[in-house]
Structure formats: C-alpha cells, structure tokens
Amino acid sequence: MEISGRNQIPGMVRRIEFGDVVSKVVIEYEGGEITAIITSDAVRELRLRPGDYVSALVKATDVMIVK
Amino acid sequence: MEISGRNQIPGMVRRIEFGDVVSKVVIEYEGGEITAIITSDAVRELRLRPGDYVSALVKATDVMIVK
Amino acid sequence: MEISGRNQIPGMVRRIEFGDVVSKVVIEYEGGEITAIITSDAVRELRLRPGDYVSALVKATDVMIVK
Amino acid sequence: MEISGRNQIPGMVRRIEFGDVVSKVVIEYEGGEITAIITSDAVRELRLRPGDYVSALVKATDVMIVK
Amino acid sequence: MEISGRNQIPGMVRRIEFGDVVSKVVIEYEGGEITAIITSDAVRELRLRPGDYVSALVKATDVMIVK
Amino acid sequence: MEISGRNQIPGMVRRIEFGDVVSKVVIEYEGGEITAIITSDAVRELRLRPGDYVSALVKATDVMIVK
C-alpha cells in the first residue's frame, strides 16, 4: 500500500490522552515529539498503545515553514 | 511570538522547487526529509535558500497515524 | 520569526471554551468573529485569556471561496 | 444552503493569479487581505473576477493562533 | 451559492456523536460511510439530525491517494 | 498497514492533470467524482495511471457538512 502523502515520520507512541470524540497521541521521533489529534475511534481501531512503532503522516500541503 | 500549532520540527532547507503559484520546499530534519508545499510568494518573502535553518510547522489536527 | 502561512488576521480573544482534548477560541477581528479549534494544551501553554491580542493564522491552501 | 465551517469572512476579490493546476485568489476583507489557493477549475467554474463579492471559508480546525 | 471546494459528496446523516467542543457526524453515501469532525456549535446551528440529506464538503488539497 | 484517517473512498483514477509542483487527480467513485491535489512527485512515485484502482484518503477533521 502506497500513500501519496509526502511525509511519514517514523516514531514510537509515547502518550495517549483519550477524549470524548477526538484523542491526542504523542509520538516520539528522532528529533523530538509530534502531537496528533485523531478520532478516538481510530485510537481504538488501530489498538494504539504506548510503545507502538508508528509513523506520523502529514500531507505536504499541510506543512508551513517558520524562519 | 508563540504559535498554537503543536508541531515545529527543526531542520535545514535542502531543496526548493519553484512553481507558478505554489512551490515545494524540502527540509532535512534529524530523522529524514519533510516536504512542504507553500505559496511561491512565501518562498520569496521569507527569502528561503538551501542551507537556511527553519522549522516545519504542522497543526496537530493535520497529523494522521499509520501503524 | 516569519511564517510562510499567508493569512494572519489580527484580533482579540473574545471567548474560550475549554474541552477535554481540543478547545474553542473565538477571536474578534475587525470584520466579525473567527473560531479556532486548537489543542487544550496550546490554550494553556500560550496562557490565552479573553482580551489577549492575537492573530488567527490560516494557510492559503486551507481557504475555500464561496460566491 | 448552510455550511458547518465556522468562518466565512466576507470580502471582495482583489487579484487572481492563474496557475496550471491551482490558482491564487487574493480577497480584500475589512481588516486586510486573505489569500486562498484553490484549483484553477474552481476559479473558472465560479467565474471569479476582480470586484466579485465573495466569502473566504475556513474550517475552525484549520485556524492556528499566534500570540 | 457556489463553493470552490471540488468535492461535495451527497449522503444522509446516519449517526451523530456529540462531544464537548467537536462532534462526530457519520454520513452514509452511495459507496459507504464518511466521518466528519465538526464543531458541536455547527451541529446545533445546522440542526443536524439522523436522516437529514447533506453533502460532505472536502477541499481537493485535503485529499490524499492510497494505492 | 492501518491508517487513522477515517475516510478511504474506493474508486478508479479517471484523469490526471500534471502540474509543475502539484497535480490534479480525478477519481471516479460509486457516487461520482473526487478531485485530489497531490504533489507531482507523488503521482510519479505511485506510478498513477488512468484505470488504477485507488482510495481517496480524507481525515475526518477535513470534512465539512453542507445542508
């Protein structure tokens, strides 16, 4: 399965904060932490747990640059 | 200046591909490369050049997880 | 610090509605109100309060047009 | 027709820069300018012209805050 | 009223899960189900109910492709 | 491989319009057509061709509702 999204940042689930409709998942990657807000359904469906190896998927059009 | 966006991934501009309305900027971060699609105006206005130290800014609601 | 995002709409925080994972922040700008959904962490970290002068930051690729 | 998107910022089309696949539309609103990147098809289909009264539509989850 | 967003997928509201700040709305379209996360304000304001005929509106720049 | 994105709409590539930095891919799904704007790199890398069976991947937070 290939995805057109240009950015897949590998890392490990560090913390999960469950919410009523959306949840926060913090991923530790080589350079620091990335926070994702995804549906709580997705957390359950992917059976995400701290320690899981995952990738953070980000579309290139969703990346801004700060200089 | 503080930004609510949770993800600021530090890196260095590796390549810039200028387009008519939008341009592609490839940033090298510790773990690999991140691609951003931003307006060509922004590339000019921020005077982005290969070698510049920048951060890739991504809103947490724009991050999906792949497992 | 410069941001590639084309749209920074200056205004004042009018109301904040705290949520478990994400929160709603209503900003009054010259022409009306703008609603942002950001992480509750960001609200705390930026110590956002009603009356604060802020900007609503929106990437050009996230703007649709209605005619 | 009602749209769930929380932010509809009324203004007037100031400039249109046509691109091969996407185009830039600059909208003048009461407080300044908003830039949208939409498909060139959409510009043609909506017959957008400088001087048109439009609204910039932005989902609340796409709004960051800068303080 | 015309919207620049390229994708309006017609369907019927199947389920609504109310959240504190954002809510989940599941829409049944011809090929299956689409999930939207919108503000709880929008659910109230549009008086969304199961059985309502609606469209899921998605900007073309927010669509990735999986092959 | 599982993706947290809630919406994967199966269909077939109908047309591809190559652009300098981003390209337009039109996917025919059961109920009509979906347009995606992805990087031209992604089109090449996924070797997308008319007739390919793909899915349109859309994050739930990127779906608005029109009633």
pLDDT digits (tens, 9 = 90+) for F16-28: 999 999 999 999 9
Instruction: Give yes or no for a contact between E46 and F67, defined as CB atoms under 8 angstroms apart.
Output: yes
- What is the pLDDT at residue F31? 85
Q: Is the pLDDT of residue D10 over 90?
A: yes
Distance CA F5, CA B14 (A): 29
- What is the pLDDT at residue E53? 98
Residues (pLDDT < 70) of chain B are none
DSSP class of C20: S
- What is the pLDDT at residue C64? 98
- What is the pLDDT at residue E31? 85
Q: Which of D16, D22, D23, D17 is nearest to D50 (CA)?
A: D16
F6 vs A37: CB contact, 8 Å cut-off? no
Q: Chain F: nearest CA to D1, how far in angstroms?
A: 6
Q: How many CB pairs below 8 Å do chains E and F form together?
A: 115
Buried b vs exposed e over A26-36: b needs ≥16 C-beta within 10 Å? bbebeeeebbb
Could you tell me the two tokens for A51?
A: 């320690």
- What is the pLDDT at residue D54? 98
The per-residue pLDDT string of chain C (67 residues; one tens digit each, 9 = 90 and over) reads 999 999 999 999 999 999 999 999 999 999 899 999 999 999 999 999 999 999 999 999 999 999 9
- What is the pLDDT at residue A31? 85
Instruction: Give yes or no for a contact between D65 and E11, defined as CB atoms under 8 angstroms apart.
Output: no
Residue ranges of the alpha helices (H) in chain E? 40-45
What confidence category does residue E37 fall into, taking pLDDT thresholds of 50, 70 and 90? very high
Q: Is the ipTM of this complex over 0.95?
A: yes
What's CA C6's distance to the chain center, in Å? 14
Q: Which residues on E lie below 8 Å from D35 (Cβ)?
A: none
A64 vs C5: CB contact, 8 Å cut-off? yes
- What is the pLDDT at residue B45? 98
Beta bridge partners of E23: E38
DSSP class of D9: E
Q: Is the pLDDT of residue D31 over 90?
A: no
- What is the pLDDT at residue B50? 98
- What is the pLDDT at residue C55? 98
Question: Tokens 């015309």 label which residue?
Answer: E2
Instruction: Give yes or no for a contact between B7 and B55, defined as CB atoms under 8 angstroms apart.
Output: no
B23 vs F22: CB contact, 8 Å cut-off? no
Beta bridge partners of B26: B15, B35
Of C20, C35, C64, the CB nearest to E20: C20
Q: Is the pLDDT of residue A57 over 90?
A: yes
Structural domains of chain B, ranges and CATH numbers in brackets? 7-60 (2.40.50.100)
- What is the pLDDT at residue D12? 98
Return mean pLDDT, chain D: 97
Q: Chain E: nearest CA to A39, how far in angstroms?
A: 8
